[in-house]
């Protein structure tokens, strides 16, 4: 199949190539643990081969796919590797992989209900059930997003809209003073980019001090708001993080909600990672207070382990995003804000990403996901305990499966150990900064990681030469 025939092949030819791809991916999947977890440096030969593809000559599709798979085998940090214990990027569930194939085959335009009513209803049902499980009131809503950044950015716009109803039409000039946003200094600092994009400027973001344990200091938050009010600023948004990137810590959700209410501010919980704890009956208490949020971010592509690009924005006030994103256009069908995502979210066209979580939740249930997150916590705890037995210090006390460890030689030795682990190649961990000090960070994100992998990593770390 070459030329135009390669774009729309005969179904018999298509079937043969698709089966070959399935077999090739199966071989790659089965050897995940046999390859290195780290990304190898791209060779000059490979780069020359890539740059030589000018697309004026055609190549066999099956051969091209093999070339790409071989490249990804070597030229990627292997997040599907059981030894990957780095950031919040998971090995995806099989159900999510299947969902991507189905969505690709039908390719629905999900932002318009009349064009894809079944897909829209499936996504909205998933959103409603996740919101219910999080404790939001009946009538809450939301939508899927490209990820946590889009969901959090939506919260900024909603906060501005809720504070000033004329904002959506007339902009920041309608505010009587500079709007301000409050997040922990340990939060995901994409908030600075979001403030820039919203037009309030990066200086509008107040990075509130922590309590020495990685959690936002509620007293410092209250003081920051008081200072801004005295200066004529307009506080609009408090963000509490449920699962900080560096250390998996949880800001005080209940007290943050109380402060937001007392100052007529929007209260948002960034639970991009930690939101999956709603699935665990044993660990749900960690998120007590999240039900008081005006909006919540949860990334399905983090602890819920779907394929990448599946965030969720949940809100107890769906009328506000409907005001923010309202639009009419002659080329679009008559819209209904409760059903048409293009009039209650940023995107006009996007992939049917909610199917990934629908199939995974449908096949595993809340109980299955609860077992998944509890197992992650247990395995991370096993690594912590093993290292502590060898004289390492446990720096954080995360309830969310994130371990920050300090070697016996102290903080200065962290990079030495991280480099040695990456040189070994069987594992991927990271250095993070926790309460202003470097720590070795490990987080189990792969459902196929087991006790043997944990013990092998601990053995490697304990057997490394001391950093002098």
Condensed to tens digits (0 to 9), the pLDDT of residues 343-353 reads 889 998 899 99
| d(C-alpha 343, C-alpha 39), whole Å | 41
Q: Which of 119, 88, 236, 114 is nearest to 175 (CA)?
A: 236
Q: Give the residue ranges of the chain where pLDDT is below 50.
A: none
CB neighbours (10 Å) of residue 15?
11
Phi, psi at 41, each rounded to 5°? -70, 135
CA distances from 255 to 105, 143, 218, 251, 418 (A): 47, 27, 7, 9, 37
Q: Are 133 and 301 in contact (CB under 8 A)?
A: no
**pLDDT number for residue 340:** 86
List, in order, residues 6 or more apart from 78 with CB less than 8 Å away. 32, 35, 36, 37, 38, 39, 84, 428
List, in order, residues 6 or more apart from 14 with CB less than 8 Å away. none
| d(C-alpha 441, C-alpha 455), whole Å | 16
Q: State the residue for tokens 């990027």.
A: 89
**pLDDT number for residue 114:** 84
CA distances from 62 to 5, 28, 333 (A): 14, 15, 40
- Segment 322-331, tens digit of pLDDT: 999 988 776 7
**pLDDT number for residue 330:** 66
Cα-to-chain-centroid distance, residue 393: 28
List, in order, residues 6 or more apart from 298 with CB less than 8 Å away. 130, 134, 151, 271, 272, 275, 276, 278, 304, 311, 312, 314
List, in order, residues 6 or more apart from 461 with CB less than 8 Å away. 387, 390, 392, 417, 421
């Amino acid at each position: 199949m070459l030329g135009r025939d390669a774009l729309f092949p005969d179904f018999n030819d298509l079937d043969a190539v698709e089966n070959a791809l399935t077999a090739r991916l199966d071989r790659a999947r089965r050897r995940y643990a046999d390859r290195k977890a780290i990304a190898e440096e791209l060779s000059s030969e490979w780069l020359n081969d890539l740059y030589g593809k000018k697309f004026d000559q055609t190549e066999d599709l099956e051969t091209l796919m093999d070339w790409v798979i071989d490249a990804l085998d070597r030229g990627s940090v292997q997040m599907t590797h059981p030894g990957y214990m780095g950031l919040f990027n998971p090995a995806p569930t099989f159900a999510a992989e299947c969902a991507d194939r189905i969505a690709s085959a039908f390719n629905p335009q999900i932002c318009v209900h009349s064009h894809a009513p079944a897909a829209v209803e499936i996504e909205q049902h998933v959103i409603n059930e996740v919101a219910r499980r999080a404790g939001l009131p009946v009538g809450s809503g939301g939508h899927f997003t490209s990820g946590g950044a889009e969901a959090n950015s939506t919260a900024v716009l909603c906060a501005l809209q809720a504070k000033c109803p004329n904002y959506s039409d007339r902009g920041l000039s309608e505010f009587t003073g500079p709007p301000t946003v409050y997040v922990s200094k340990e939060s995901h600092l994409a908030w600075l980019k979001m403030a820039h994009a919203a037009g309030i400027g990066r200086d509008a973001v107040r990075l509130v001090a922590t309590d020495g344990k990685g959690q936002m200091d509620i007293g410092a938050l209250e003081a920051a708001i008081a200072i801004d009010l005295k200066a004529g600023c307009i506080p609009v948004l408090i963000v509490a993080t449920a699962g900080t990137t560096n250390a998996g810590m949880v800001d005080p959700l209940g007290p943050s909600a109380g402060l937001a209410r007392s100052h007529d501010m929007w209260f948002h919980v960034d639970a991009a990672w930690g939101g999956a704890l709603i699935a665990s009956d044993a660990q749900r208490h960690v998120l007590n207070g999240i039900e008081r949020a005006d909006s919540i971010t949860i990334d399905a592509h983090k602890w819920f382990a779907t394929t990448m690009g599946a965030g969720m924005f949940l809100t107890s006030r769906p009328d506000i995003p409907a005001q923010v994103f309202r639009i009419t256009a002659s080329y679009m069908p008559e819209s209904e804000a409760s059903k048409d995502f293009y009039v209650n979210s940023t995107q006009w066209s996007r992939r049917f990403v909610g199917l990934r979580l629908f199939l995974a939740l449908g096949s595993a249930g809340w109980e299955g996901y609860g077992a998944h997150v509890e197992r992650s916590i247990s395995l991370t705890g096993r690594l912590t305990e093993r290292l502590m037995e060898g004289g390492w210090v446990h720096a954080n006390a995360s309830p969310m499966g994130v371990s920050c460890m300090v070697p016996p030689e102290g903080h200065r030795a962290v990079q030495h150990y991280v480099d040695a682990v990456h040189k070994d190649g069987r594992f991927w961990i990271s250095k993070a900064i926790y309460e202003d000090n470097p720590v070795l960070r490990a987080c189990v994100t792969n459902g196929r990681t087991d006790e043997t992998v944990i013990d092998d990593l601990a053995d490697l770390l304990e057997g490394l030469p001391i950093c002098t």
